[in-house]
Amino acid sequence: MKKFILCAVIFTLVFFPFESDARGENINHFIFIVLNDQLISFQDVYPEVKKGTTYVPIRFFAETMGADVKWNHQSGLVLIAKDGKEIILDLATKTLVTDGGIIITDCIYVKYNRIMAPFKLIAQSFGYEVAYIGEGPIARAKNENAQISDGELYLKFKNELVKEKEKIILEIRNREREEFRLKYKIAYITFDDGPSIYTEKLLQILNQYNAKATFFMLSDRIKNYPEIVQRVINEGNTVGLHGVTHDVKKIYKSPSILVSEMDACNRSLQTVTGMRTNLIRVPYGSKPYMTQKYREAVVNAGYKMWDWNVDSQDSLADYVSPLMIVENVKEQVGRRSVPIILLHERQCTVEALPHILDYLKKEGYIFIPIDSRQEPFNFWNKIY
């Protein structure tokens, strides 16, 4: 992220809550920091408000302030010095000692390898006055070098703040998602060709295992089972598009026909649920039909194309033995870092599903739906 230095003072970051995502994580509080007339653009780790106190990544903040930062690795002490004043941070005891010798305990912490320290205390220690501007929100440290008032400052930067905020939220969310993926063993359960008379049974089983899945649905079936589509979504699953005809000779006639089938399917989804999606799975998978011009066409239309990396083979015959389906999954799952399991809406799959979920749960997997913001996995773009 670029630094935009404007005058001599730093913007304090204002805090604003950003909603928790589907996993119900803690609500974080974000704030912009201004030093005199300059909005500080932090990188990687951002200022945050915890229990009413604004914390900043201290090194970046101190250096922007023109302070000298020295870290003694052996003692774990950080010395921040400016204009003959000095404060000491003791990481081991989470203690801060001010220039006047005041000891403040339990006021520093480490976040993503950055030391976070209270903004106000640090700024005041070096002779800055601190102001909080509700709009933004902004925390501002200022001294005699500040050129503009708090009100002017907000007006000057409000457009920039909006953009900066969007960028940071996106970054924070992406990082949270990434951490989530690293922390848990994730399996994606996917069902094609529905909705159908089996969907509700599948949902019931998913619920028993606290599992969420992704349903790639066909246009006419969406129209035939509107309540079921809505129920799929209401219960925390995601819906993707599977087209209209499911006929190789029709859907793969040209890139624009393929896209128009997905668009039609999306319109059905919107009619029934009021929502659209960018997730698609093309019939029979993306190889060999989705050659480059097809792939470009779906990307240009804003779609994310998903295949699978575990094939349950539950649609090889009219009725496949549930035992075989389970074995197929078991046999392939171990070879995948993030299994994306292909299933269909069929009787044999309904019978196999509890055993699949049972097995995967014992193996430590959790089941979350595919998210429209994720990078898609497909046969042309293997990332898992």
Q: Give the count of beta carbons closer than 10 Å to the beta carbon of residue 151.
A: 10
Q: Give, as one character, the DSSP assignment of residue 253.
A: S
Nearest position to Zn ion, beta carbon: 192
Least Å from the CB of residue 202 to Zn ion: 15
SS (H, E, C) 59-122: HHHHHHCCCEEEEECCCCEEEEEECCEEEEEECCCCEEECCCCCEECCCCEEECCEEEEEHHHH
Nearest CB to Zn ion, comparing residues 130 and 257: 257
- Residue 169 CA, chain-centre distance (Å), reads 9
Whole-angstrom Cα Rg for the chain = 27
- Residue 228 CA, chain-centre distance (Å), reads 27
Q: Of the listed 37, 192, 307, 314, which one is catalytic?
A: 192
Active site residue 344: yes
- Residue 204 CA, chain-centre distance (Å), reads 27
Q: Identify the three-state secondary structure at position 345.
A: coil
Least Å from the CB of residue 25 to Zn ion: 34
Least Å from the CB of residue 229 to Zn ion: 16
241: left (phi over 0), alpha (psi -120 to 50) or beta: beta
Look at the chain and count its residues: 384
- Interface residues with Zn ion (CB under 5 A) are 192-193, 283
Least Å from the CB of residue 216 to Zn ion: 7
Q: Of the listed 29, 242, 246, 344, which one is catalytic?
A: 344
Nearest CB to Zn ion, comparing residues 9 and 265: 265
Least Å from the CB of residue 238 to Zn ion: 17
Positions marked catalytic: 192, 344
